[in-house]
Amino acid sequence: MTLTLTILLAVALDYWLGEPRNAWHPLVMFGRWVSTIERQLLVVGQSPVQQRLSGVMAVLIALTPALLCLIKLTDWPVLNLFIEAVVLYFCIAARSLQQHAQAIYQALCNEDLQSARLKVGKIVSRQTDTMTELQVRQAAIESVLENGADAVFVPLFWFALAGPIGAVLYRLSNTLDAMWGYKNPRYLYFGWAAARFDDLLNWLPARLTAVSYALLGNTSCALAAWRKQAHLLDSPNAGPVMTAGAGALGLRLGGPAFYHGQFKQKPWFGGERNPENADMVRSWRFMYQTLVLWLILIAAGDALA
């Protein structure tokens, strides 16, 4: 039952401590390292093939030192349980997601739309300065559903499958995708390797997350939304997660939005009801219910192993 104990300790640390201060978070330090690599390897004007090769090299250079350090750390058997739990704690962010959504919820309850816009801007990439209350709610709930996979369930999957190295490899690849995976002139080719590697690591656990959402909510609506709408979303992995999650909650999410000054005709997806403030509370409680389901399944698998 060592795996289960390690995961429970990590989840307890996450709930108790929340996200570490930015300056001390390993992902922030990793981000600085990635920015240094980018300055050295991303050369504007290179051919698409050269940029893709540079991108492949950049991914390898970015990931290798962290993984080697982790292998060395986990060579200490006496401290293994504690070290692995701390490593997983840094890879998950359920409490942080709840805190961000809760802050937005509180601002809307206080009828402070401007504050709610600023707070939702911390967790979404779209422009938030002209959002309506409904759009703020939709964006916040979408973020909880999508990041529930990226920051909770996918790292848990890889930890259960491959230990701390699996969780760290995924979390760092996800960070690389967040920094380099844009389909714009600067990153279209250079970020190709980072984006495809992240897609590969996400494929199966994202769909397991979508199944979990469907089982714990309105199953028929979730499965119908996944089947009919997932392909309309840009991401091959966020599509199933977000459509199944929105359908499970019976909420209508998505819709047109501005990204970096450009209007994007995003599709509507999920159920038929527009979210209210109380649905934001439902979204983070739903994430925790899904987490409990995963912990039960992991514990059952651990007991049988």
Of 289, 15, 300, nearest to 153 by C-alpha is 289
Predicted local confidence at residue 304, as pLDDT? 85
What average pLDDT does range 66-70 have in this prediction? 83
For 92: left if phi > 0, alpha if psi spans -120 to 50, otherwise beta; the answer is: beta
Q: Do 256 and 263 touch, CB atoms closer than 8 A?
A: yes
Q: Do 87 and 151 touch, CB atoms closer than 8 A?
A: no
What average pLDDT does range 39-64 have in this prediction? 92
Query: If pLDDT is split at 50, 70 and 90, which confidence band does 297 have?
Result: very high
Q: What is the pLDDT of residues 235-262, one digit of tens each?
A: 999 999 999 999 999 999 999 888 877 7
Distances (CA, A) of 285 to 67, 252, 291: 33, 18, 10
DSSP character at residue 132: -
Query: If pLDDT is split at 50, 70 and 90, which confidence band does 74 have?
Result: low
From the CB of residue 232, how many other CB atoms can be counted at a distance below 10 Å?
13
In DSSP terms, 176 is beta-bridged to none
Q: Hey, what's the torsion of the CAs at 126, 267, 98, 207, to 10 degrees?
A: -120
What average pLDDT does range 252-274 have in this prediction? 89
Q: Which helix (H) or strand (E) holds 266?
A: none
Predicted local confidence at residue 76, as pLDDT? 62
Q: What is the pLDDT of residues 138-185, one digit of tens each?
A: 999 999 999 999 999 999 999 999 999 999 999 999 999 999 988 888
Query: If pLDDT is split at 50, 70 and 90, which confidence band does 22 have?
Result: low
Q: Which helix (H) or strand (E) holds 264?
A: strand 262-264
Predicted local confidence at residue 78, as pLDDT? 54
Q: What are the two backbone dihedrals, phi and then psi, of residue 180, each rounded to the nearest 5 degrees? A: -120, -5
Predicted local confidence at residue 257, as pLDDT? 86
- The better pLDDT of the pair 82, 53 is held by 53
Lowest-confidence pick of 75-89, 169-183, 224-238, 285-299: 75-89
Predicted local confidence at residue 167, as pLDDT? 95
Q: Do 190 and 52 touch, CB atoms closer than 8 A?
A: yes
In DSSP terms, 211 is beta-bridged to none
Q: Do 228 and 111 touch, CB atoms closer than 8 A?
A: no
H helix runs in the chain, sequence order: 2-17, 26-41, 48-73, 80-91, 94-109, 113-120, 133-148, 154-180, 192-216, 219-229, 238-249, 277-304
At 291, the amino acid letter reads: L
Lowest-confidence pick of 16-20, 208-212, 235-239: 16-20
Mean pLDDT over the full length of the chain: 92
Predicted local confidence at residue 298, as pLDDT? 96
Predicted local confidence at residue 83, as pLDDT? 86
d(CA 269, CA 278): 19
